[in-house]
């Protein structure tokens, strides 16, 4: 978790590599093995001649992992959203989004041509009001762990509402899959509502340590996406060597090693929160993301620079990634962080807080 540049080094507390797999020797070896077996590239789009056995094996393994009939892989999580949502809903239908949904989900909703309705973040009463008046096919879209705030969606309650009103539910588990739930299957599985989620979206570039994205769903939905998801059809397939390495990553995540890494990552976050809780008010962390709210963009830039001078890589997050007046440092922890690094970060954040005065 060390970043080096220009003769300096920083401890990286901004990466989404939650399990520390991106630099693992096992994945490096798997990628080399994949190149030796399958070559460097796929050669074409999936529907021309770019589908290799490694792609199909990965998709079968992901479907088994997520407990669905089938799965489809894409070049990125953004591509999953752009391909899936417009393929399933369109003009005359309704998409209901949480206010804090990722930009990829918002862009996909706009691209679909469906009527878009937005409910305040995790506001169940507003969600139900929107569901009660929605027209056409209705798709509710939320993240399980929100990327900028690190909090969790009330998935059990959302599942109840979508079933009550006959809607579909898409859950983006980008920041939960690999990290939360049994075998790292995500928050929905951890809450026992994964079977009621219609569309499981996730990335392969965070806890998986590589790159790509997937959609896990019924066989009928996946067959439809193969024929209608434009971000799947009209792009060169990801290298089969990458799919091969992702199979290794999935095996690691599902096994005993994954349990150890999940415990380490979540333990590091809990340790950080404990060390900050003396003078600062933090609740129990939902995952591995901790927002250090500053509000003013100038203050956030200054704080990022201060943390950089102290030896921590922590770029500030500001508009348009978050709302105006909601600038922050987005702190992420990994299984790869040491106890000493966590302690040093907590001390630096306390000093930063004292320098800023009362932010609360």
Mention every residue, 6+ apart, whose C-beta is less than 8 A from residue 342. Answer: 268, 271, 272, 275, 333
Which helix or strand (DSSP H or E) is residue 161 part of? Answer: helix 155-164
24, 147, 304, 334: which one is catalytic? 147
Are the beta carbons of 276 and 350 closer than 8 angstroms?
yes
Distance CA 192, CA 171 (A): 14
**207 contact partners, CB below 8 Å, separation of at least 6:** 16, 17, 18, 19, 21, 177, 178, 179, 184, 253
* Residue 150 neighbours by CB distance under 10 Å: 19
Count CB neighbours of 132 within 10 A: 10
Q: What is the C-alpha to C-alpha distance for residues 309 and 235, in angstroms, rounded to an integer?
A: 42
List 52, 55, 200, 206, catalytic entry: 206
Query: Active-site residue among 52, 175, 200, 337?
Result: 175
Active site residue 38: no
Given 14, 16, 24, 304, the catalytic residue: 16
Q: Establish whether 351 is a catalytic residue.
A: no
Catalytic residue among 38, 52, 66, 102: 102
Cβ contacts of 188 within 8 Å, gap of 6 or more? 144, 155, 171, 173, 181, 194, 197, 200
200 given a catalytic annotation: no
Active-site annotation holds for 147: yes
Q: Is 37 a catalytic residue?
A: no
Q: 341: Cβ–Cβ under 8 A, 6 or more apart, which residues?
A: 1, 11
123 is catalytic: no
- 13/330 Cα distance (integer angstroms): 8
- Residue 48: its H or E element: none
Which of 17, 93, 149, 172 is labelled catalytic?
172
The set of catalytic residues is: 16, 102, 143, 147, 172, 175, 206
């Amino acid at each position: 978790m060390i970043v080096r540049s220009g003769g300096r080094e920083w401890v990286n507390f901004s990466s989404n590599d939650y399990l520390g797999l991106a630099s693992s020797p096992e994945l490096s070896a798997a990628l080399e093995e994949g190149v030796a077996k399958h070559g460097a590239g796929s050669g074409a789009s999936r529907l021309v001649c770019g589908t290799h056995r490694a792609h199909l094996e990965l998709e079968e393994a992901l479907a088994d992992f997520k407990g669905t009939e089938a799965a489809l892989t894409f070049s990125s999580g953004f591509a999953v959203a752009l391909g899936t949502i417009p393929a399933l809903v369109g003009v005359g239908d309704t998409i209901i989004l949480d206010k804090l949904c990722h930009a990829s989900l918002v862009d996909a909703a706009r691209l679909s041509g469906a009527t878009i309705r937005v409910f305040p973040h995790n506001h169940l009463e507003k969600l139900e009001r929107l569901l009660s008046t929605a027209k056409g096919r209705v798709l509710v879209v939320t993240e399980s762990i929100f990327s900028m705030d690190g909090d969790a969606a009330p998935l059990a309650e959302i599942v109840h509402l979508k079933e009550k009103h006959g809607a579909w539910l898409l859950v983006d588990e980008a920041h939960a899959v690999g990290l939360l739930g049994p075998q790292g299957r995500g928050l929905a599985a951890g809450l026992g509502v994964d079977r009621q989620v219609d569309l499981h979206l996730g990335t392969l570039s965070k806890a998986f340590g590589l790159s790509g994205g997937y959609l896990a769903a019924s066989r009928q939905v996946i067959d439809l996406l193969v024929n209608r998801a434009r971000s799947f059809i009209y792009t060169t397939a990801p290298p089969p060597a990458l799919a091969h390495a992702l199979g290794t990553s999935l095996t690691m995540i599902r096994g005993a090693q994954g349990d150890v890494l999940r415990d380490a990552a979540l333990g590091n976050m809990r340790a950080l929160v404990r060390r900050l809780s003396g003078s600062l008010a933090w609740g129990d962390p939902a995952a591995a993301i901790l927002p250090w709210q500053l509000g003013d963009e100038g203050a956030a830039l200054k704080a990022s620079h201060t943390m950089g001078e102290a030896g921590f890589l922590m770029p500030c997050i500001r508009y348009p990634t978050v709302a105006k007046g909601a600038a922050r440092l987005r702190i992420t922890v990994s299984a790869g962080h040491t106890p000493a690094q966590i302690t040093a970060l907590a001390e630096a954040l306390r000093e930063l807080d004292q320098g800023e005065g009362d932010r609360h």
